[in-house]
Chain A
Amino acid sequence: MARNRTRQNGNAAGWLLIIILIALIIGGYLWRQNGGSSPLPGDGAPPADETPADDGALDDDAPPTDDETPDDEPADEPEELTDIDGKVFSYLPVGDLLPSSGPGFVDETVYRENILFPTEDPVFLNSQVYRFGGGMGSVNGMEGSQCDARNYDYPWQDTFCEHRDRNQPLCPGGGHEGLDIRPHTCAKNVHWAVAVEDGRVIDIRRHWVTIQTPDGTIYNYLHLNMGELSVSEGQQVLRGDRIGKISNDFFKSDGTPVATTTHLHFEMYENYVESPGAEPLFTKVNPYMTLVAAYDRMLRGE
């Protein structure tokens, strides 16, 4: 009898342990599913706009969304470079794109050391396609509106050679040969794009403005408000001259609009050689490090 009771007690204890273990596993799983892990940066961001009117873009008069200027400045200046809103400027390395968004193209070259940054205000370089409000945002769980505050924050991220359906040798499988720049806020037709160097407006067409410098460098500014440009074709421009306001203009040549987010797509052509005396290549180049350097100077007031 006693032996049987001991065996029964042992069985009961074993099953109890198993049940406790299973309960722990289920509990742990539920705990994780409910976000029980330690808070991550970004968790506190406001929820994405679920019903964007025109692709989530704000109207001209709408208030900006990233009005997060701190009320009380810290007593000590931070050791890191900040923008006018007090945000610490940070950037990811060149060629470091979002997961599954493209191969990127690592090019550390600062092509023009003294250009002005192409906008008047602080901006955010990141993907228009693979982040909140983009057509491929769901690839990385970034579902929501283009006006999501997390799109309007650092770190910057390179988008050169982000996937596009165009065959070309530089970006294997097809890619984006420019950089996408979100303006200071999600409001379109508010923030100015400016000439980065002295030059001449050589082409205004559909949704882009092209400026060339005496050295030959070509800058393409896409998606400005083409109805209210501050320049005309053939005009000489000086460094810092206003060109147009950042918008989401995107047209076929017959005027048919194409949907896109509010951003400045910025391209740069250079005539370059790898060593003195070599035959030059005149192609689009990755302006990421050139823009990081220009932004650094802008934030320092240089």
Chain B
Amino acid sequence: MNKLAFAAAFTAAMAVGAASFFAFAQTDESASPPERAARLQAALEARAQTRPRLAPPRLGLPAKPAEEDRINWTEMRTALALSARRDTSAGQTTAAVIARPPGMRAAAAENFKTVVTREVNVTHLPVLAPEGSRIAQTLKVYSLGSSYSATAEVEKGVAMRMSGARKKLVIGDLRSARTRIAAMRKESRTLGSVDAPYLVTRSESSTDLTFAKFGAGYVLSIMCDDPADARCAEDDFIVKLASNLLLLNPEAEGE
């Protein structure tokens, strides 16, 4: 009986000892912070890749410039006319002063004292910017020919930048592209001003709304003092801002 008890005690002690040793050896929670950091650093180094000095293999999947970068100027003029018709119709049928319907409206660059007209005239795509009284007073446009950016103060605590580009990249990593396209489709909302689907994203520096129209890509970014500001944290403010756009070069034509 005593031999049996001894054998049982011995076996149990062995099992407990082995288990506890294994647990102490493997469980990171038991380790001190410096030890955990050292283990993690070692694991990172073990996974890291280096580059051979000679005959290096290609890195990643290169993006290629898309051949197609034409602007559909006819679509731009049609959209402008449709928007004007909606405004006229709304004005005739409403007695009270209400917000205008979403739209894209022509506005000559000369009307903005902070806009250099030449910057707009040398831009080879529709130059869009949001409407707003503070925006109108502070709007600046910087052209790079096939791309542009317009910047302004929107209201206290919020600034904006609207950028457009006609050139596109065909990206190399189709899986990541599909993820983003799927995210956009999931949103499945339409921007009333230009009748185009849009996507809102947020990051450290801005809240962004992107859409494509007339063959170009556009992104409207707003920057809030405090990222938790509802104007940046929620979609409503930026969507409303993008719902009434100014077209600063309505006379522009194809080249």
Contact = CB atoms under 8 A, between A and B. Distances in A.
A40 interface: yes
Interface string A92-128: 1110101100000111111111000000000000000
A282 B218 contact: yes
A267 B208 CA distance: 13
B122 to A, nearest CB: 11
Interface string B12-40: 01101100110011000001111111111
Contact of B219 (A79, A275, A282): A282
A228 interface: no
Nearest to B232: A166
A242 to B, nearest CB: 20
Contacts of A210: 149, 161
Nearest to B149: A202
A169 B199 contact: yes
A74 to B, nearest CB: 13
B184 to A, nearest CB: 7
A93 B47 contact: yes
Nearest to B178: A274
> Sorted from nearest, which 9 A-B pairs have the closest CB atoms?
A216-B165, A141-B36, A177-B203, A155-B48, A274-B177, A282-B217, A289-B60, A141-B33, A271-B217
Given A109-B176, A141-B33, A282-B218, A154 B48 contact: yes
Contacts of A289: 59-61
B21 A29 contact: yes
B10 A18 contact: yes
Given A178-B203, A202-B149, A252 B226 contact: yes
B161 A202 contact: yes
A14 B44 contact: no
Contacts of B38: 40-43
Interface in A202-222: 202-203, 205-206, 208, 210, 212-218, 220, 222
B42 A215 contact: no
A153 to B, nearest CB: 9
Contact of A218 (B163, B176, B223): B163
Interface string B188-232: 000000000101111111001010100011110001011110000
Interface of B: 2-3, 6, 9-10, 13-14, 16-17, 20-21, 24-25, 31-42, 44-45, 47-54, 56, 59-63, 65-68, 140, 142, 144-147, 149, 151, 157, 159, 161, 163-181, 183-184, 186-187, 197, 199-205, 208, 210, 212, 216-219, 223, 225-228, 233
Interface string A46-85: 0000000000000000000000000000000111111000
A10 B3 contact: yes
A206 to B, nearest CB: 8
Given A109-B61, A271-B217, A279-B212, A90 B50 contact: yes
Given A92-B47, A169-B186, A216 B163 contact: yes
Interface in A166-181: 166-170, 174-178
A271 B66 CA distance: 10
Nearest to B145: A214
Contacts of B172: 108-110
A258 B140 CA distance: 28
A19 to B, nearest CB: 10
Contacts of B144: 199-200, 212-214, 216
Contacts of A11: 2, 6
Contacts of B60: 94, 108-110, 289-290, 292-293
Contacts of B171: 109, 111, 270, 272-274, 285
Contact residue range for chain A?
35 or more
Interface string A270-302: 111111110111111110011011001001000
A169 to B, nearest CB: 4
B217 A176 contact: no
Given A29-B21, A91-B49, A141-B40, A21 B176 contact: no
A230 interface: no
A157 B226 CA distance: 28
12 contacts: A111-B169, A142-B33, A150-B41, A155-B45, A170-B183, A214-B147, A267-B205, A271-B165, A273-B168, A273-B170, A282-B212, A293-B59
B146 A25 contact: no
A277 B68 contact: yes
A276 B49 contact: no
Contacts of B197: 279
B35 A109 contact: no
Contacts of B201: 168-170, 177, 283-284
Contact of A280 (B40, B183, B217): B217
B70 to A, nearest CB: 11
Contacts of B170: 272-276
